[in-house]
Amino acid sequence: MTSHLISTDHPSGSASGEPDDLIALRDVCVVHGRGDSAVVAVEGVDLRVRPREIVSIVGHSGCGKSTLLRAMAGLQPHASVQGTLEVLGRTPEEARRSGLIGMVFQDAVLAPWRTVEGNVRLPQQVARGRAQRPAKSPSEMLDLVGLAGYERRYPKQLSGGQRQRVSLARALAMEPQVLLMDEPFGALDEITRDEMHTELLRIWDTTHTSIVLVTHSIQEAVFLSDRIVVMAANPGRVADLITVDFARPRRNELKDTREFAHIAHRIRTALEENR
């Protein structure tokens, strides 16, 4: 089935009354299949993502987290996407093709025959003038993610954390305004994951990119986010929307505080009540 996106004819700011919304979702539904075999994966989701905001989406497996994220990226070609979904006043497909959206997956998905620099350069080569020319070179992006000097190495010569840094540098190569991340640290060990949390916040503070992050980790969501969307399943829908107002910059000691535990408990409660 061809994907259908119903979007307003005016920028998202006009639709919402908030001119600085980067992503605007209103009554978004995602349906797989058709007729008697149709499955509603996501239903009635309303969400706004503002400039420089980090929003995490948390929920049990199968609740539609990744489906919703892919809809934001315009990567649901075989599903029916209904409702209003805009990225900087454009359809997700238009925003992605213009280099306004970057995407990071759980697997770094690096081309093994390309060097680190070659992998980071790939989005620029694929765009071929469709998007605005990036202001920074692959070497500058690798320096940003802490991999200066690794340009000539190949993915097989890197650790898991280093491969994810390359994936992040590649996603940021077109200087997107929105970064969508689907379980980017899920395959990493706990120590490396903690390091990547700190690194992501450092990079976010440098690039001013808004981030939407799908995660199964409650701790990860609380530590990174400004707001947390807790999803219920069957069909996927918003069960709770939690504001996290810890000051930035954040350090790992925050994870041991009572306030941190309180928010984590609220998330667990919402998940338990919406299995």
Please check the confidence at residue 11 and state whether its pLDDT lies above 60: no
pTM of the predicted protein model: 0.88
Q: How far is CA 234 from CA 61, 67, 179, 217, 226, in A?
A: 11, 13, 27, 21, 26
Q: Residue 133's pLDDT is what?
A: 55
**Are β-strands 210-215 and 39-49 bridged in parallel, bridged antiparallel, or unpaired?**
unpaired
Q: Which residues are 212's β-sheet partners?
A: 55, 180
- pLDDT tens digits, one per residue of 120-136: 998 878 776 555 555 67
Helix 116-127 and helix 160-171, axial crossing angle in degrees, nearest 10:
20
In three-state secondary structure terms, 89 is: coil
pLDDT attached to residue 126: 76
Tokens coding 76: 């649901």
Structural fold of domain 51-73+90-273: Rossmann fold (3.40.50)
- Is 9's pLDDT higher than 90? no
pLDDT tens-digit readout, 74-98: 998 788 899 999 999 999 999 988 8
Sheet holding 210-215, edge to edge: 101-104, 178-182, 210-215, 54-58, 227-232, 237-243
Alpha-carbon distances of 87 from 47, 132, 178, rounded to whole Å: 12, 17, 8
pLDDT at 266: 97
Q: What is the mean pLDDT of residues 196-219?
A: 93
Averaged pLDDT of the chain? 87
Question: Which 3 state secondary structure label does DSSP give 125?
Answer: helix
pLDDT at position 170 over 70: yes
Q: What is the pLDDT of residue 135?
A: 61
* Strand pairing class (210-215; 178-182): parallel
131: which residues sit within 8 A by CB, 6+ positions away?
A: 97, 98, 99, 100, 174
Q: What ranges do the domains of the chain cover?
A: 51-73+90-273
